[in-house]
Amino acid sequence: MLDIKFIRDNPDIVKENIKKKFQEEKLPLVDQVIELDRRNRDAMTEANTLRADRNKLSKRVGMLMGQAKKDPSKLEEAEAAKAQVKANADRLAELEQLEAELAAEIRKIMLVIPNIIDPSVPIGPDDSANVEVERFGEAVVPDFEIPYHTDIMERFDGVDMDAAGRVSGAGFYYLMGDIARLHEAVLAYARDFMINKGFTFCVPPFMIHGNVVEGVMSQTDMDAMMYKIEGEDLYLIGTSEHSMIGKFIDQMIPEDTLPQTLTSYSPCFRKEKGSHGIEERGVYRIHQFEKQEMIVVCKPEESMDWYEKMWRYSVELFRSMDIPVRQLECCSGDLADLKVKSCDIEAWSPRQQKYFEVCSCSNLGDAQARRLKMRVRGESGTYLPHTLNNTVAAPPRMLIALLENNLLPDGSVKIPAALQPYMGGMQVLAPKH
């Protein structure tokens, strides 16, 4: 969410940014919110004048009523002053109601006007215009067939989609035996990887209030992703970024505690509304998964440095498990409205002979901080911090990349050295079928 003063002073910049994001239908909102803001400020000015005059008029009424006891001719003047006090009070009540209504309308519009994107973001209408920046590791196509990922898992008695369908429906799964253990090994390794980078480990709440949801994500993303608990002001998190950033809602953060660097484990729940493939066999796009996340709350001047560090952490993690990856810069039309800049880390799929998304790193500037009323207390006053987030590891999607890239010709799976301590020293998984 932008600062209303910025929109007021820079309407052309805001409109040009909307055009860059290919959201021309939002252009009228800029003039609408500026007009609403003008009316709101006029109402506030009049209300403040009435409040300032209230004490003066009250004193005058008291004085005139005292004089009227001795001089009845003053009574009419006193009654007129009382009537003015009453009229001012009625008008003040009207103005206060108008201010509340206008503030609500302004906030509603402000929540859908997109954040100003960084100048380095490539311009394009959708993900087809995303730009590959760099590749890490050799993308190998083996000389033997790579089966579909659930076929690999079934060789180890490691997945049961049919039972999950009976219990929960499409988009759910049972992981079993060594595959389930490998899943947890990835999460444990990802946790320790981030702790070794200096991040503080946290297990956050898995349900959050509606005002936190509104603070951390756009309405469009909320409708497409979030499950609401019936009858309660609680939502299941779609990623632990939501509750981790929400941790700072309404807080004044001492500047000397920045940057806040946290890594969190959580289950994640997503409707995947509007997403294709939810009915397809497999565990690529699902309603429930587990994830290790990283978030940073920092000074504004440090956020781009952190952005660079964070996506490189993802590359380092995947390469340590022998998985080739590439960095893909997200174009303007593919950025969620709160984001200033974002990139995806995509893992190589030998079976499909293409890359697929496994991490998403985003700099949101001060948008979440403004929505959540987060502030930093510095030596020269208070200011809004910047917030960033990035996936560390999100199995089972990451598990697909791990299995495909470490599959051996005999159907066994090599366990990368980094994961072996978390697998009881096992170096290879041998299939049961």
Residue the block writes with tokens 């402000």: 110
Mean pLDDT over residues 213-235, rounded? 87
Residues 173 and 315 in one domain: yes
Residues 266 and 171 in one domain: yes
Residues 304 and 395 in one domain: yes
Boundary residue ending a domain (110, 135, 157):
110
In a domain, 250, yes or no: yes
In the predicted structure, residue 277 carries a pLDDT above the cut 80: no
Q: How far apart are CA 314 and CA 302, in angstroms?
A: 19
Residues 305 and 349 in one domain: yes
The CATH number that applies at residue 396 is 3.30.930.10
pLDDT of residue 283: 87
Q: What percent of the chain has pLDDT over 70?
A: 92
Residue 17 half-sphere exposure, CB side, CA atoms within 13 Å? Answer: 25
In a domain, 121, yes or no: no
- Cα distances (Å, whole numbers) of residue 2 to 11, 33, 341, 366: 12, 12, 15, 8
User: What are 103's two structure tokens?
Assistant: 């503030």
List, in order, residues 6 or more apart from 168 with CB less than 8 Å away. Answer: 287
Q: Which of 357, 431, 353 lies closest to 145, judged by CA?
A: 353
Distance, C-alpha 249 to centroid of its chain: 14
User: What are 255's two structure tokens?
Assistant: 């500047």
Mean pLDDT over residues 20-29, rounded? 97
Residue the block writes with tokens 């200011």: 383
Residues 60 and 173 in one domain: no
| Domains of the chain: total | 2
DSSP-derived secondary structure letter, 330: P
Residues 136 and 32 in one domain: no
Distance, C-alpha 52 to centroid of its chain: 43
The CATH number that applies at residue 106 is 1.10.287.40
Decide which of 282 and 373 is more confident: 373
Q: What percent of the chain has pLDDT over 90?
A: 82
Residues 190 and 286 in one domain: yes
Q: How far apart are CA 54 and CA 80, in angstroms?
A: 14
pLDDT of residue 74: 64
Boundary residue ending a domain (44, 76, 110):
110
In a domain, 68, yes or no: yes
**Contact assessment for residue 14 and residue 30, using Cβ atoms and an 8 Å cutoff:** yes
List, in order, residues 6 or more apart from 216 with CB less than 8 Å away. Answer: 241, 242, 245, 246, 338, 368, 371, 372
Mean pLDDT over residues 73-97, rounded? 78
Instruction: Report residue 157's pLDDT band, with 50, 70 and 90 as the boundaries.
Output: very high
**Contact assessment for residue 317 and residue 3, using Cβ atoms and an 8 Å cutoff:** no
Residues 264 and 406 in one domain: yes
198: left (phi over 0), alpha (psi -120 to 50) or beta: left
In the predicted structure, residue 63 carries a pLDDT above the cut 70: no
Mean pLDDT over residues 227-251, rounded? 95
Q: How far apart are CA 315 and CA 62, in angstroms?
A: 76
pLDDT of residue 402: 97
Q: Which domain holds residue 357?
A: 127-429
Amino acid making up residue 123: I
pLDDT of residue 273: 60
**Contact assessment for residue 236 and residue 206, using Cβ atoms and an 8 Å cutoff:** yes
Residue the block writes with tokens 């659930």: 150
pLDDT of residue 78: 63
Residues 312 and 407 in one domain: yes
* Letter string b/e over residues 170-183, b meaning 16 or more CB atoms within 10 A of that residue's CB: ebbbebbebbbbbb
> Model's pTM, two decimal places?
0.89
In the predicted structure, residue 278 carries a pLDDT above the cut 50: no
Residues 155 and 286 in one domain: yes
User: What are 232's two structure tokens?
Assistant: 């309660």
In a domain, 196, yes or no: yes
Q: Residue 327: helix, strand or coil by DSSP?
A: strand
**Contact assessment for residue 156 and residue 177, using Cβ atoms and an 8 Å cutoff:** yes
In a domain, 276, yes or no: yes
Q: How far apart are CA 196 and CA 185, in angstroms?
A: 16
User: Helical H runs in 259-352?
Assistant: 303-319
Instruction: Report residue 88's pLDDT band, with 50, 70 and 90 as the boundaries.
Output: confident
Residue the block writes with tokens 């697998």: 423
In a domain, 122, yes or no: no
pLDDT of residue 279: 41
Judging by beta carbons within 10 Å of its beta carbon (0-12, 13-18, 19+), is residue 30 exposed, middle or buried?
buried
pLDDT in tens, 177-215: 999 999 999 999 999 999 999 999 999 999 999 999 999
* Lowest mean per-residue pLDDT among 2-16, 220-234, 266-280, 400-414: 266-280
Q: Which of 395, 370, 407 lies closest to 3, judged by CA?
A: 370
Residues 105 and 196 in one domain: no
Q: How far apart are CA 363 and CA 365, in angstroms?
A: 6
Boundary residue ending a domain (48, 77, 110):
110
In a domain, 115, yes or no: no
Count of other CB atoms within 10 angstroms of residue 198: 9
Q: Which of 15, 41, 30 lies closest to 103, judged by CA?
A: 41
In a domain, 104, yes or no: yes
Residue the block writes with tokens 């079934």: 154
Residues 417 and 310 in one domain: yes
